[in-house]
Structures are given as C-alpha cells and as structure tokens.
Structure 1
Amino acid sequence: MQLPHRRHSVNTEVIKNNKHDKHNIVAQRPSDLTVGWAQRVVDNRLDGVIVSNVSITSLDIGTTTRVRLTVGHDGPSNLPRRWFVKLPSLAWRARLITALPRLLHTEVRFYNEAARAVPASIPDFLAAQSDSGRGATLVLQDVTESGATAGSPGDILEPEQATLVIEQLARFHAHFWDKPDLVQTYRWLARPVRRLEDCLGTALAVPLMKRGLRRAGQTVPSAIHALAVHYARHRSRIMRFLSDAPLTLIHHDCHPGNLFWNQSQPGLLDWQLVRFGEGIGDIAYFLATALNPEVRRAHEARLVADYAQKLRDYGVTQIDNESLMQRYRAHLTYPFEAMVISLAVGGMMKPESNYELIRRAAAAVEEHDAFAAIRI
C-alpha cells in the first residue's frame, strides 16, 4: 500500500534534541505515545489531518519495546489507523546489549535510506527518527491492518512456507549480490557501528556462551558444549571466515518471529541486524530456527538447492551447489550462538520460544557437525 506523500523530510540520522520540535517524534517509553506525539507523526506526512485519540492495544518487551496502537484521525483511508511502534527496550539487560551497537538506530536508518531498494515484502513505515542522546523511534503500519498475520518466534513452518521464504530471500540477496557500488552506497551498514557490535560480541562471547549453555541444560546436547565454548573463544576469526565470500545485503535474524504472512506470502520484519554478509547465512539461520528438525532434515538439501537455482534465475553466476552446502553447514553455528546468547542475556524473547529455537538450532549443528565445517 502506498502511503501519502511526505510533507516534510525527516530522513536524518540525528535530529535536534528538543522535545518541542514539531518534527521530533522520538519517544522513550510507551507513555510518550500521546495524541500530541501521533499528531507530530501525521504532520510530517500530511497537512490538515487531525488526530483525535490514541490507544495502546498491546505491549511486548524484548530487544526493543514493541507497541501496537490504534490511532483515530480524520485523514484518508490510506493513512493507517493501526500503528506498530518500536522504542528502546524497557528490559535493562536487553537495552544494554542493543544500545551500544545502536541496533534500533540502524533499523531507523535502514527504513529511511535503504528499505525502498529492497525487493522483498516489508512493512510500510510512517516515520523513523533517531537522536544520539534520546534514542530512536520507528513507526510502521501494523501489518494486521492489511490482513496480514505477524509471526511468533516459536512458529513451526511447513515445507511449502519455507520454499516461499527461500524464494524471497534469493530475490533479495541477488539484488545486492557482489556489487561494490551498493556496498559504498550503504557503507554505514559496515562501519563503525558494525565493528563496535562485533567487538562487543567477541568480548562477551565466552561468558555469555557459558551462561547460556548452563541455562539451556539438556536442551543442548552435551557433545557440543565444549565445541560451542571453543567457537566463542575464537569468535572474531570465525566471523571473518563466515564473511569470506561474495557479499550481499542480508537480514541476519531470520527466525519465524521476524516474518509476517499476507495471503500465504511471507514478508520480513525487524531489520535491526541488517548488514553485508554471505547470503547462505540467512538461509542457515532460517532453516535452523523455522523448521522442526525432522522436517528440516527431510527438506533442507532441496531448499538449499532451490536457493542456488533461484540465485541463478536472478542472474547470479558461479554458484556451486556443493560449496554452497558446505558454507551452509558452517553458517549453522551462528543461529545456535544467537539463540544461546539470547537466553544468557534474558528478556530478548519469551523463554519458551527461546528454548525451542535453541533445541532446533542445536539439532542442526549436531547433525551437520557444523563446528567442524569452520576453517580458522
């Protein structure tokens, strides 16, 4: 759906630290989402529309604070009345982990500068602003307004659904595949924030991996505990290995909770971790977390081959299926790490979903001897 033309440009990384600036829509907590705040959001898009009321319909706290709003206004029908707002997390551990690498700021910049170039289904957005001192705020159209259904981290996908997601990821990856000019255009995705994120991840990798494994208990097979800690100790070198390939823009967080479904077609949510990387990493993350191990085991070879063929269909050459499968094996380590670290930090997602995604990712790592596929 096309939203009304913007009246004011708000595509700035940093705005004035002034609560009374009529263009400032940065909020820090759900109580800031008032009628006056919503009016400023609308004013940045249209003249003459009056907001009459705002009500919170749901509140979820994880890596960010996610608020669903119903907004009453007298504007046109294509100005949404159901909004999805992302604010900094109210969970202090999650906020600490996400604040230094400026993950929500990165997602704001993605929507302002890159989203229109992405050939994938993503939510329409109304406003996206960041302030270096006060945080960042992202206002999206709630996908439910167009009849779509947002996913949940614990969802179990069927093979037919997985095929559709693979096709969309292939189209997305092929568009940005090995194009230095695009890397230059979106160089802010690579530095310096991503370097800070990598440094932070490496510094905390060992203690968080150990803590996460203790909390996971028998959910993680004992045979891979020592391998996981070894991975954490060498994380910096492993990240270099996993990115030593033709690069493309990747989502980097493709679990079922970051999908939405509109008339059986998938779309991608939550672009906080978007970056340049190896496309097969998104495929590994998705298949390791979205499918039951039995279903993944039966279909993953075909799905990886489908991904390779779709890349060729979209003009990406020099794709070797055997090499791609080897890289897939190696990249299975990252979704396992991500889920174990999420459990270690706590508050990143509902515990029952976190344990289930650890179970699925651990099964993929063990079956593929994924740690052995890493060459450092």
Structure 2
Amino acid sequence: MSADARTDSPGLAVAKGIVRFGGHTLWEHLAPQRATSARDVPVRTKDVTREWLTAVLCHAHPGAAVESYDMEDVSSGTSSRWRATVTYNGAGREAGLPTELFAKTSRSWAQRLLLGMADVLTGEPGFYTHIRPHLDIEAPHGYHGAVDPGSGRSIALMEDIVATKGVTFCTPQTPISFDEMKNLLTSMATWHGRYWNDPELGRHDFLRKTPQTFVGNLAKFAGLKKRGDVGVQRAMAVMPDGIMAIHEDLYRALWRSLELAAQGPLTFLHGDSHIANVYKTRDGLLGFGDWQVVMRGTWAFDVSYTIATGLTVADRRSWERELLAFYLDRLAETGAAAPDFEAAWLSYRQQMFWSYFGWLLSIGRSAIQPKFQPDSISLGILERASNAILDLDTLGAVDSVS
C-alpha cells in the first residue's frame, strides 16, 4: 500500500475530479440532452425516451418496441435511483420482455467523484453484463449497463425486485436466523466457486481492483484516517470498552489485512456484502443487491463482512465456526480447492477490519461525501463489527503473519 493511501493524501487527482465532474454536471444541467440510442447514458428520468428504452431492451427481438413508460424518482445517495414501468407492442409482449425496471445512475458531481475515485463506476454495469448471466443465485437480473468515463455518467438498468418479488431490504435490526445465514453463504460459495482462480477475472477492467486498491482509492479520496477518527467518536456509545485503546493499531493493521486479501487464490467478490445490501423476497428467499463494488480477492473478505454485519453479537459468537465450516463445504462442492478449517479461520479473523473502518467512514462523513447509509444502520453495524474485532483478536491474527 502506498504512502499516499496510508496518510490519506487527497492529491491533485481529487481536485481534478471535482473540476471535471462538476463541469460536466453543470453543462448537462444547462444543456440537457435526451437519450435516444444505446450509446447514450441517461442519468435523470427526464433524459429517458421511448427510443432509448427500445434500443436497450428490444435489440435482440426484431420487431419489438416500447410503446409507453411511466417513471418515478426513488432516492439519491451514493447513486441516484429511479424505477420505470414499461409496456411493449405485440412482439415485445410475446418475447416476455421486462416491464418492471429499476435504474441506478450517477447524476450528481459528488456521486461521480466518489464512484470515479473509488473506481466503481463500471462495477454494476460490468456485473450485470458479464457476471450475473453465469450465476444461479438470488440476485436481480440486469438488462443494460453503460458508462461514459469522460463525464462520469453511468447507468445500470435492472429488474425492479420490489415490484417483481416483493422484497424488503434488511438492516441490523432485521432478525437473521441460522438457516438464513446459511442460505446467504450458499450463494456466496456459488459465485466464489464459479470464479475461483478463474483467468476471466483478469480480462475485465471492472474487476482489476482488489480490496487493497479499492480501500486505497477511498482513503485518498475521502480521508479514511481522519473520517475514521471522527466516526469512532460519533459511534463510541455503541462500541465495547477496549476498542478506543487500540483504534490506531487497528488502522495500521487494516493495510496489512488488505494486502492479505489480495494474496492466495483469488475469486470474484461482491465487495460490499453487508447486511443492508441483503434483501428478503415475499417467498422468504434471501439475496444480495447493490453489486457496485465488485472486485477480485480472497473469499474471506466477503464472508467475514456478511457474518459480522448480519448477525447479532451473541448469534455470531454462537454460530460463526459452524457457519464457516458450512461455507467451506459448499465451496468444495463447486470444485474449488477450499482451504482447511484452521487456515480458513485465520483468514476469516484477519478480514474483519473493513466491516469496522468502512462504517466509521460512513458515519464520520465529510461535506463532500454522499451519505452512504442512515446513521442507525452505521451504528448497528459498528456495534457488531467492533465486538467481532475484539472477540476474534483480529489485530493479533494479522500481526501473527510476517
């Protein structure tokens, strides 16, 4: 890890990004252009046209066309989100084309700056185009993805799972049972096993980053050390005694942990597999949404993040060894060379840091940082993550490796 990442020096790149993305968003506001071809990248509902929807949804079905659509802005955070209901002509209806759509775009300059500096603008478009079609898991289906690197505009057009599956998204306050966590780990083992040491990982630009480069990018853009120091003060009431005394040591060890996350057999990672990105369908199935931070790295980065944030402190303490053994069995069933339990247990312990520092960054946010999640979610996760770090002696687990 470079000195810049460790010291959180924002550097000239951030200033250039502010000018570049700010200039583009201002120009788009002053001279808006509507999208009409698949090459266009609309980021606002008013940019969308029937011609664009036909181009991106009907291209594989000659004669099919969008006849009408209704759109609704939903929310804005790290991305801007809207949903659409689409109707087709006879050929489109006969082809069974999707009618309930959800889009995530980079509309504001702050979103483009964050996503661009973190190198995740292409993540979700890349996932839905290149990875999702090869995975038999509970996750939204994707229909179109595009990025304009120069302006920072991006869009991922996908299934509106609220409409199609009646989903509700989880929070730290959502009870997750032992069997539900096993279901999540089964899905995780499916994508880890499918791309275990797969050369395809190196062929996609959107998968070139590892946890080490991703967090390094965030550190340089958002000032991870400073924001973490602010966040730990704001979250002190929910964290156990003893965490403050080792906070500086934890930050040092975070970087060694991230180096380890880029070593050994690498696989495809969700990269942001915390509980607030988990949903339940009306039929009781659990899946992962928000595939924006996909990357490659060690399996333990995903697994530790999900278990640490998804379970209460008491349930994690009671279940984590059995859950890890279950995950390793499912991973082996895919044909991957799963590590033995003791080696896996050490890796699991070593990868607990991001569930702590990522959420200190969220609650310790600065003025130029979009609000990632409500404070109630950040605090709920920080309570769990800080306890996990102490329970598992994550600091000692990292320091034990030369």
| TM-score higher than 0.5 | yes
Find out whether 1:103 has 2:103 as its counterpart. Answer: no
TM-score normalized by structure 1?
Answer: 0.84
Aligned to 1:66: 81
Give unmatched runs, 5+ long, in structure 2.
1-27
Where do residues 237-316 of structure 1 align in structure 2 (5 Å cutoff)?
237-262=256-281, 263-316=283-336
- Aligned pair in 2 of structure 1 residues 26, 304: CA closer, same or farther (>3 Å)? same
Higher deviation after alignment, 25-34 or 159-168:
25-34
Find out whether 1:128 has 2:145 as its counterpart: yes
Q: Structure 2: which amino acid aligns with 1:365? A: I
Amino acid at match of 2:106: P
| TM-superposed deviation, 1:316 | 2.8
- Match among 206, 218, 229 for residue 237 of structure 2: 218
Q: CA contact under 8 A between 1:151 and 1:261: conserved in structure 2?
A: yes
State the match for 2:382 in structure 1: 358
Q: 1:199 to 1:79 in 2, by over 3 A?
A: same
Q: Which secondary structure state, in structure 1, belongs to the residue aligned with residue 41 of structure 2?
A: coil
Q: Contact 1:205–1:232 at 8 Å: present in 2 too?
A: no
For the 8 Å contact 2:211–2:297, the answer to whether it is kept is no
Q: TM-score, normalised by structure 2?
A: 0.79
- Tell me which moved more, 156-165 or 63-72: 63-72
Supply the distance in 2 between the matched residues of 1:227 and 1:190 (Cα, whole angstroms): 32
| Structure 1 match to 2:37 | 22
Give the secondary-structure state (helix, strand or coil) at the position aligned to 1:104: coil
SS in 2 for 1:197: helix
How do 1:327-346 and structure 2 match up within 5 A?
A: 327-345=347-365
Q: 1:84 deviation in Å?
A: 0.8
Matches within 5 A, 1:163-242: 163-179=182-198, 181-186=199-204, 188-190=206-208, 197-203=214-220, 204-233=223-252, 235-242=254-261
Distance in structure 2 (CA, Å) of the matches to 1:268 and 1:201: 22
Structure 1 residues 45 and 201 mapped into 2: Cα distance closer, same or farther (>3 Å)?
same
The CA distance in 1 between the partners of 2:374 and 2:135, in whole Å, is 29
| Cα distance in 2 between the residues matched to 1:332 and 1:235 | 9
Aligned twin of 1:7: none
Which whole-Å deviations, capped at 9, do the CAs of 1:251-288 have from their partners, x for residues lacking one?
12112232233433332211111111111221110011
| Shift in alpha-carbon separation, 1:116–1:318, aligned structure 2, 3 A | closer
* C-alpha RMSD of matched pairs (Å): 2.7
Q: CA deviation at 1:35?
A: 4.7
Q: Specify the code of the residue in structure 2 equivalent to 1:51.
A: E
- With 342-351 and 181-190 compared, the bigger mean Cα shift is at 181-190
Instruction: Give ranges in structure 1 of 5+ residues lacking alignment.
Output: 1-16
Relative to 1, partners in 2 of residues 1:199 and 1:147: Cα closer, same or farther, differing over 3 Å? closer
Give the C-alpha shift of residue 348 in structure 1: 0.4
8 A contact 1:23–1:44 mirrored in 2: no
> Structure 1 residue 224: deviation in Å?
1.5
Equivalent residue number for residue 52 of structure 1: 68
- The alignment partner of 2:121 has SS state of helix
The number of residue pairs the alignment matches comes to: 356
Q: Partners of 1:50 and 1:187 in 2: how far apart?
A: 32
- Does residue 42 of the first structure (1) align with residue 73 of the second (2)? no
Q: CA deviation at 1:69?
A: 2.4
Three-state SS of the structure 2 residue aligned to 1:146 is: helix
Change (3 A) 1:195 1:247: closer
Q: Distance in 2 between matches of 1:300 and 1:234?
A: 22
- Letter of the 1:231 partner, please give it: L
Q: 1:110-149 alignment to 2 at 5 Å?
A: 110-134=127-151, 135-149=153-167
Q: Distance in 1 between matches of 2:227 and 2:295?
A: 23
What secondary structure, in the 3-state scheme, does the structure 1 residue paired with 2:191 have?
helix
**Higher mean C-alpha deviation, range 75-84 or range 273-282:** 75-84
Aligned to 1:76: 93
Deviations 1:191-239 (A, max 9, x none): 5x97763432343221121121122131223521343333334544331
